[in-house]
A and B are shown apart, each in its own frame.
Chain A
């Protein structure tokens, strides 16, 4: 052990990964196996018997419109918020790309929403959206020229815009930062050559800039897309899935089934469905995105 080269390298390398893999298996994989087991039982709030009921819970998945609506809500929120974050982030990155007085300070301030806890940003926006004491209705009132009371977190037509606003506020800076870095790395000489050739700004953007930043863009989309699929905190703070079940995301649905209605075995089946869907998505996307080196 003490002499030079005393470690047998082949064992040593496994010794180093061992503890981490053990923790990951213990907390990441073992629970999934347990989940599989529970999903074939029939445990509910009133039923504590651990007898196996076959695929009953899985059959129930297909007869549960609320589950599929929750999936749909998740997809809708992702489909709206993600492109908005991308386009706004790109526009902001373009704005801050060149030299600007106080640029570093602007960027340092713009980053702040990203490090706020999502539950805190949800709380922030519920204060902002409050129909009476929040500033948003007041501002809208100034623009409309008359007192305006909009029930942002209650009115079915307004809850989605409200959630998207909070989500876009928090994560557009994420897109902005990544795309700013990507734009800064675009080859200057190509841009100059295009300028000399008299190419229009749009043409240059689509022919040179966009292909150059595409790899970073796809990574940003991957990371945010997966986060949006798991969306919980912001919605929880704003609407708790309401009104009714109108804004229930798949994570909120799972939480309510498991911890409010105590349908233990059915929740296990739902959770496994979520894991399978997401794993499929990850594998599909990881193959297209160069994350590893």
Chain B
């Protein structure tokens, strides 16, 4: 018979073993994806597959930069950055109005969150036809405008929740002290919800950065994003594995780095603010 502490220790050891196993299983595809970019072609097309590169090799990255393919990561950065800035600004002031004045009532709030749920393909098809007409296909402006609109409902909805968390009394005392509403927004409310603002900014940025379907339809060569460039390596000959892998690392690693700093806000950000975490 085991004593109670022994049983506890055994239980913990079992849980720990399972935790390690689960984490390894979920990490393995990312490891595999990243690892291929450091292999030589001979190692990539070795049979049976090799599970690690003989030595770290950066040729795949060198090729991406030499051919200019890496510029598509720059395009992703440009469209994600500007659309995020625009969506955050427009969304924040709109959210303030919804939160403080209940502008438009519950109907407007519901309409905005339902905009989030429209299938991208249904929106992007008529947008494409209109963009052809206005000459906006394959332009930064066109992509930024669409990303802004697509992310606005998310920003408004999330920021509305964060602003509702700011005590009204703070604003009222600032108003008494002679600030006007516009100043209250920037000097009182904004600093009070900067954590929520940062988390929402990062999420919005990630949505734009990770988008594929809008960019697939609306870009050609000039402003193609890294996700679109990635699909150019698909199919045909499988000679492009090194490029698929290296391009994925370039597109994914920055996201891993920025999101590492916002673990606390993940649950709230992913659940559209419904779960505070």
A96 to B15 Cα, complex, angstroms: 8
Q: With A7-B180, A28-B149 as given contacts, are A282 and B126 in contact (CB-CB < 8 Å)?
A: no
Contacts of A108 in B (CB 8 A): 260, 263
Q: Which of A119, A178, A254, A272 contacts B230 (CB 8 A)?
A: A119
Interface 0/1 of B236-261, CB less than 8 Å to A? 00100100110010011001100110
Contacts of B30 in A (CB 8 A): 112-113, 116, 124
CB distance from A180 to the nearest CB of B (A): 8
Is the C-beta of A56 less than 8 angstroms from some C-beta in chain B? no
Q: With A127-B36, A177-B270 as given contacts, are A292 and B23 in contact (CB-CB < 8 Å)?
A: no
A132 to B182 Cα, complex, angstroms: 63
A287 to B272 Cα, complex, angstroms: 16
- Whether B164 lies near A293 (C-beta < 8 A) is yes
- Whether B15 lies near A95 (C-beta < 8 A) is yes
Is the C-beta of A100 less than 8 angstroms from some C-beta in chain B? yes
Residue of B nearest to A123 (CB): B244
Is the C-beta of A268 less than 8 angstroms from some C-beta in chain B? yes
A7 to B51 Cα, complex, angstroms: 66
- Whether B266 lies near A111 (C-beta < 8 A) is yes
- The contact size tier of chain A is 35 or more
Is the C-beta of A35 less than 8 angstroms from some C-beta in chain B? yes
Is the C-beta of A135 less than 8 angstroms from some C-beta in chain B? yes
Interface 0/1 of B41-82, CB less than 8 Å to A? 000111111010000000000000000000000000000000
Q: With A120-B251, A291-B113 as given contacts, are A110 and B26 in contact (CB-CB < 8 Å)?
A: yes
Contacts of B33 in A (CB 8 A): 120, 123-124, 127
Is the C-beta of B193 less than 8 angstroms from some C-beta in chain A? no
Q: Which of A95, A138, A226 contacts B48 (CB 8 A)?
A: A138
Q: Chain B at the A interface: mostly helix, strand, loop or mixed?
A: helix
Is the C-beta of A201 less than 8 angstroms from some C-beta in chain B? no
CB distance from A57 to the nearest CB of B (A): 13
A247 to B32 Cα, complex, angstroms: 25
CB distance from A218 to the nearest CB of B (A): 10
Q: With A9-B101, A119-B212, A292-B110 as given contacts, are A35 and B125 in contact (CB-CB < 8 Å)?
A: yes
Q: With A138-B48, A223-B272, A278-B117 as given contacts, are A120 and B122 in contact (CB-CB < 8 Å)?
A: no
A21 to B241 Cα, complex, angstroms: 44
- Whether B149 lies near A27 (C-beta < 8 A) is yes
Is the C-beta of B188 less than 8 angstroms from some C-beta in chain A? no
- The contact size tier of chain B is 35 or more
- Whether A16 lies near B94 (C-beta < 8 A) is yes
Q: With A24-B149, A127-B33, A219-B274 as given contacts, are A226 and B117 in contact (CB-CB < 8 Å)?
A: yes
Q: Which of B49, B130, B175, B267 contacts A133 (CB 8 A)?
A: B49
Is the C-beta of A20 less than 8 angstroms from some C-beta in chain B? yes
CB distance from B241 to the nearest CB of A (A): 7
CB distance from B215 to the nearest CB of A (A): 9
Residue of B nearest to A279 (CB): B114
Is the C-beta of A107 less than 8 angstroms from some C-beta in chain B? yes
Is the C-beta of A259 less than 8 angstroms from some C-beta in chain B? yes
Q: Which of A7, A110, A114, A125 contacts B181 (CB 8 A)?
A: A7
- Whether A35 lies near B260 (C-beta < 8 A) is no
- B contact set with A: CB distance below 8 Å: 12, 15-16, 18-19, 22-23, 26-30, 32-33, 36, 44-49, 51, 90-91, 93-94, 96-98, 100-101, 103-104, 106, 108-110, 112-115, 117-123, 125-130, 145-146, 148-150, 152-153, 156, 161, 164, 175, 178-182, 206, 209-213, 217, 227, 230-231, 234-235, 238, 241, 244-245, 248, 251-252, 255-256, 259-260, 263, 266-267, 270-272, 274-277
- A contact set with B: CB distance below 8 Å: 4-7, 9, 12-14, 16-17, 19-21, 23-24, 26-28, 31-32, 34-35, 38, 92, 95-96, 98, 100-102, 104, 106-121, 123-128, 130, 132-135, 138, 141, 169, 172-174, 177-178, 180-182, 216, 219-220, 223, 226, 229-230, 232-233, 236-237, 240, 250-251, 254-255, 258-259, 264, 267-268, 271-272, 274-275, 278-279, 282-283, 286, 290-293
Selected A-B contacts with CB under 8 Å, 27 pairs: A13-B101, A17-B94, A20-B156, A21-B94, A24-B115, A24-B153, A26-B149, A34-B130, A35-B125, A38-B129, A95-B19, A95-B22, A108-B263, A112-B26, A123-B244, A127-B36, A135-B49, A178-B270, A178-B271, A178-B275, A236-B212, A258-B128, A278-B122, A282-B114, A283-B114, A286-B114, A293-B164
